[in-house]
Amino acid sequence: MQPTLHQYTQKTSIEESAVNGSRSTEKDFPVKETRLPFEQYANSESKIIFASLSPYEKGFFSGVEGGRVNKQVMREVYGMIADGNEVKAFQRIYARSGNLASLKKNFKELLQLLPHNLPESRIQYFQQRQYDYFEELKNQYKFYLDGESTGGYVLAGMESEAAHIPSDSNYPEVAFIIDGIHSLGIGNPEDEFLHAGQRPHDVSIGRLKSRIRQLKGEEPLEDNELKRWSHRPFLFRLANHFGNGLFGHARSFPQRAEVILDQRRYLNKGVIKGSGYEVVTELLGLDENLRPTGSKRILIDMLHVSASARNDLYEKVFRTHNKNIDTHHPIPVVFTNAAYSGVDYLTEMMKNSRDAVDHDDFRVRGFYGGSVNLCDEDVLAVFWSKGLIGITLEEQKMGHELTGLAKLFPKSSRTHALRVLGRQVAGIVSVPFAYHVCEPLNIWNCLGIGSGLSGTVQLLEYFKTMNNLHSLVEDLEEVLTKLKKEEPFWFGPHKPAELAMKICYENAMEFVAKNL
């Protein structure tokens, strides 16, 4: 079987695809409606694809701690879903939770949050204490290695020039994103319930840092088959959906998911342990004084990191390094799949989380104000560090749901989607101008598209398949033309067509060329 990735638009370069599972069978890597074999890329105009290496977190299979939907119920539910019996799965969850009104209204969307098409053997494996995140990560890497020679792609990140294809080749490069620090072997929920004589499943900080050096190719890989990890990841997310014990995470699932997915462990916490800073500096190739060690740099992706943890990291690492240590080579702040929240400051987001007001319907000037999204302070952090924001197309994050006739008529869904996308672009671009920073037009260099097409999110109706993503450049040009009439000062000498190409293609390519 050949590896698979999403193909988005012909020109889009900052995109993400998640591959979860081992290398073994077709069942483990199903080719879904929105996925294409890699050979399809050979004749496209895509130059770089971001592939997410993401060991499934145990929280997807554990149920809710102290709740009625436990691990055994989740195993049964996954089995029913695999058999195509969603009605029976609904009945099983309802029988345990009793939350009929919420389930009846949102059950299909709820199921979309769960991993699909996994055989029972894999579900049982993921639920076992022996399930090792780092082993799973290595298996996913091997999957890409196995397919590189015949899959119509080349892996980016190798130091040797031989690893890069000629500039006139039609094959795209695949750059890796690691989805969460748990991938290196921490955040195992069983460690909170150890019995006498049981050893923790989490690895030590020293070993975790060693594994980071392994991903950079600076130390031999802990593996009997593969001696070295040869393609340095481009980005590393510190948090994902569930607690990892080092960095707090933001709520990334809608509230209706609380019946089966428990995000409470370390939710909205800051940097939980001082050793978290050691992990960050190891990734960035810095010493304890934030000066270069000579080690290669893996950039940090702030997606899903809590507002409190972002605040800690900006203060202790990013601002300190970028203002006091090396102003000419700042550490870029990156969000690969984010939306604007309408909130001004991180402290405000932190208070909203403490006061539990950031529910699904929480709106700030019409934007979804949850801390999973960007506040003004985040946008400025990206702007000053010459970072990158991948604007999401996810319905929940963008703060708008399709209603009425728009659900029935594609034209209406397009109008709705472009209006929502336009609001997002306007919200982000407005920030440097509102704070009167120098050279605010540079914000246009910090924008890309991070669609969120990973199979477990609810996208805007118009962008649910690749078909409409092929016209994203033209759609965005239409959005920007309208915005320029309303706010010409934000555009300066730039034309909408030029900026549409920058956002959909050029910014990401330049960012990768500079930082990979």
Q: Are 414 and 407 in contact (CB under 8 A)?
A: no
pLDDT mean over 402-408:
49
**Domain definitions of the chain by residue range:** 59-114
In this structure, the strands spanning 367-368 and 363-364 are: antiparallel
pLDDT digits (tens, 9 = 90+) for 101-117: 555 666 777 777 888 77
Q: What integer best gives the mean pLDDT of the chain? A: 84
pLDDT beyond 70 at 405 = no
pLDDT of residue 198: 81
Q: What value, to the nearest 5°, has the Cα angle with vertex 402 and ends 453 and 364?
A: 90
pLDDT of residue 34: 29
From residue 278, alpha-carbon distances to 207, 245, 354 in Å are 12, 14, 27
Q: Kindly calculate the radius of gyration of the chain based on its CA atoms and give it in whole angstroms.
A: 22
> What is the pLDDT averaged over residues 452-469?
67
Tell me 442's DSSP state.
G
Higher per-residue pLDDT: 192 or 454: 192
Instruction: Give me the pLDDT at residue 516, please.
Output: 83
Q: pTM of this prediction?
A: 0.88
- CB neighbourhood size of 26 (10 A): 9
Query: Residue 245: its pLDDT value, please?
Result: 95
3-state secondary structure (DSSP) of residue 318: helix
For range 318-338, the mean pLDDT: 95
Q: What is the DSSP letter of 172?
A: P
Residue 64 has pLDDT above 70, yes or no: yes
**How far are the Cα atoms of 15, 21, 278, 379, 469 from residue 389, in angstroms, in the given order?**
11, 28, 25, 8, 18
